[in-house]
């Protein structure tokens, strides 16, 4: 009994303060979380909207798509169908992440409606070296992906970046960052494509 009394005497302030502070954080979070979620959706839509022109709305795919990430873990991928104003499918987009040079790289990837060609990608979050690795955000690197086949891509040290094929020319001085993007996209896109075919979400027999 004495022990409990001693414990309460010593720690009552800590217990009361933890409760009050917890409540304060909960209230702030409840008030701000819709806005934070909205910000995230807006950013994604803005980036994908630029990659898939004519998009009006994004519909999350109900079917579950799981891929094996580059680190060998199973990851659930949220795939969105981009719809035009007239209700036609413009393309697909999904978010993927993988290891970069300094930190995790998070990408949003857009693909055409048949999952045949990439419409491009954009960087949601990264922490690559300024001036070198962060050039993965630059147009001259990203433009190589626009129209590239939606399958395994290869990184080449030199070549013509304007030629659109499955060969992506690395950024000089930032091979690891360039490779990371190519690997993240190749790894996810091949698996997602297979599963979409399996689940008959895309394919020749499907009418839009």
Partner 1 sequence: MTDKSEVQTCLYRQTLLAGLWRENPVFRLLLGMCPTLAVTAAVKPALTMGCCVIFVLVCSNIIVSLMRNLLKPHLRILMFTLTISTFVTIADLFLKAFVPDMSETLGPYVPLIIVNCIIIGRAEACASKNRLAVSVIDAVGMGVGFTLTLCVLAGVRELLSTGKIFEVQLMPDAFVPCAAMSMPVGAFITLGLLLALVNMITKKEA
| Residues that bind partner 1 in the complex, under the rule CB under 8 A | 10-11, 13-14, 17-18, 21, 24-25, 28-29, 32, 35-36, 39-40, 43, 125, 127, 129-131
Strand 167-169 to strand 154-156: parallel, antiparallel, or no bridges (unpaired)?
parallel
Rounded to the nearest whole angstrom, what is the least distance from the CB of residue 43 to partner 1 in the complex? 7
Distance between CA 174 and CA 150 in Å, rounded?
A: 23
Report the length, in residues, of the chain.
208
Residue 181 CB neighbours (<10 A):
29
Q: Shortest distance, CB of residue 149 to partner 1, whole angstroms? A: 31
> In this complex, which beta carbon is closest to partner 1, that of residue 43 or of residue 146?
43
Q: State which residue, 24 or 59, has the beta carbon closest to partner 1.
A: 24
List the end-to-end C-alpha distance of the chain, in Å, as a whole number.
74
Count of Cβ atoms closer than 10 Å to residue 13 Cβ:
9
Minimum distance, C-beta of residue 11 to partner 1, in the bound complex (Å): 7
- Min CB(32)–partner 1 separation in Å: 4
Residue number with CB closer to partner 1 (6 or 199): 6
Q: Which is nearer to partner 1, 66 or 127 (CB)?
A: 127
Positive or negative, the CA dihedral 28, 30, 32, 37 is: positive
Nearer CB in complex with partner 1: 72/131: 131
Q: Which residues contact 74 (CB under 8 A, 6 or more apart)?
A: 66, 67, 68
Whole-number minimum distance, CB 206 to partner 1, in Å? 37
* Secondary structure (3-state) at 171: coil
CB of 33 to partner 1, least distance (A): 8
- The smaller minimum CB distance to partner 1, of residues 31 and 208, is found at 31
- Residue 125 CB coordination number (10 Å): 12
């Amino acid at each position: 009994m004495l022990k409990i009394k001693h414990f309460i005497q010593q720690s009552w302030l800590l217990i009361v303060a933890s409760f009050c502070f917890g409540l304060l954080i909960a209230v702030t979070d409840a008030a701000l979380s819709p806005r934070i979620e909205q910000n995230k959706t807006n950013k994604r839509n803005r980036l994908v909207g630029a990659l898939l022109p004519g998009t009006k709305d994004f519909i999350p795919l109900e079917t579950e798509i799981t891929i094996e990430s580059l680190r060998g873990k199973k990851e659930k991928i949220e795939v969105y169908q981009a719809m035009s104003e007239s209700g036609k499918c413009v393309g697909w987009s999904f978010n993927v992440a993988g290891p970069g040079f300094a930190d995790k790289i998070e990408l949003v990837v857009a693909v055409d409606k048949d999952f045949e060609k990439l419409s491009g990608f954009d960087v949601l979050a990264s922490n690559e070296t300024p001036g070198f690795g962060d050039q993965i955000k630059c147009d001259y690197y990203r433009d190589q992906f626009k129209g590239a086949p939606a399958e395994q891509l290869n990184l080449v040290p030199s070549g013509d970046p304007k030629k659109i094929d499955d060969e992506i020319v690395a950024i000089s001085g930032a091979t690891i960052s360039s490779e990371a993007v190519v690997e993240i996209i190749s790894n996810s896109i091949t698996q997602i494509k297979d599963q979409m075919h399996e689940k008959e979400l895309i394919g020749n027999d499907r009418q839009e």
